[in-house]
A and B are shown apart, each in its own frame.
Chain A
Amino acid sequence: MADSLTTPAAAIRPPRGKVVTVRSSSPFRWVLRLIVIAYLVFLVIWPVTLVAKATFSRGLAPVLDALQQPDVIFAFKLTLSVAFWAVLINTAFGIVISLLLVRYTFPGRRALSAMIDVPLSVSPIVVGLALLLVYSGRTGWIGGALESAGLQVIYAPPGMIMATAFVSLPLVIRELVPVLTEIGTDAEQAARSLGASPLQAFLSITLPAIKWALLYGVVLSLARSLGEFGAVKIVSGGVAMRTQTATLLVEERYQQFGPENTITAYTAALILALIAVLALVVVTSLRPKENSQ
Chain B
Amino acid sequence: MTSSAVTPLIERPDDAPPPSPGGRRRRRRATDLTPVAGLGLGITMLWFSLLVLIPLLAVLVQASEGGWQAYWEALTSPQTAAALRLTVSQALLVTLVNIVMGTAIAWVLVRDRFWGKQFLEVVIDIPFALPTIVAGLVLLSLYGPSSPLGVDWANTRVAVFLAFLFVTLPFVVRTVQPVLIELEPEVEEAAASLGASRLTTFRTIILPALAPAITSGAALSFARGISEYGSLVLLSGNLPYSTEVASVRILSYVEGDKLTEAAAVASILLVVALVVIVVLDIISRRVARHG
Contact = CB atoms under 8 A, between A and B. Distances in A.
Find out whether A and B make contact in their complex, taking CB atoms under 8 A apart as touching: yes
Given A23-B113, A33-B112, A123 B131 contact: no
A8 B20 contact: yes
Given A40-B120, A100-B41, A19 B181 contact: yes
**DSSP majority for the B interface?**
helix
Contacts of B52: 115, 118-119, 166, 169
Interface of A: 1-4, 6-13, 15-23, 28-29, 32-33, 35-37, 39-40, 42-48, 50-51, 54, 89, 93, 96-97, 99-100, 102-106, 112, 115, 117-127, 129-131, 133-135, 141, 162, 165-166, 169, 181-185, 198, 220, 223-224, 226-230, 247, 250-251, 254, 266, 269, 272-273, 276-277, 280-281, 284-285, 290-291, 293
B127 A44 contact: yes
Interface stretch (B28-36, B67-75, B78-86): B28-36
B196 interface: no
B223 interface: yes
B230 A166 contact: no
17 contacts: A8-B21, A17-B182, A20-B185, A36-B105, A106-B33, A118-B270, A123-B247, A123-B269, A124-B247, A125-B247, A125-B266, A126-B247, A133-B259, A181-B26, A227-B129, A228-B131, A284-B122
A224 B21 contact: no
A198 B166 CA distance: 44
B131 to A, nearest CB: 4
A28 B111 CA distance: 13
Contact of B111 (A21, A96, A185): A21
Contacts of B47: 89, 93
Contacts of A28: 198
B241 interface: no
A64 B262 CA distance: 42
A198 B114 CA distance: 47
Given A15-B178, A50-B138, A273-B129, 15 more contacts: A36-B105, A43-B166, A93-B47, A100-B40, A104-B32, A121-B270, A122-B270, A124-B227, A129-B262, A130-B58, A165-B51, A185-B29, A223-B129, A229-B132, A273-B134
Contacts of A250: 131, 133-134
A277 B129 CA distance: 6
A49 B139 CA distance: 11
B160 interface: no
A122 B227 contact: yes
Contacts of A37: 120
Contact of A15 (B41, B162, B181): B181
Candidate in B62, B143, B178 with the most chain A CB atoms within 10 angstroms: B178
B19 A182 contact: yes
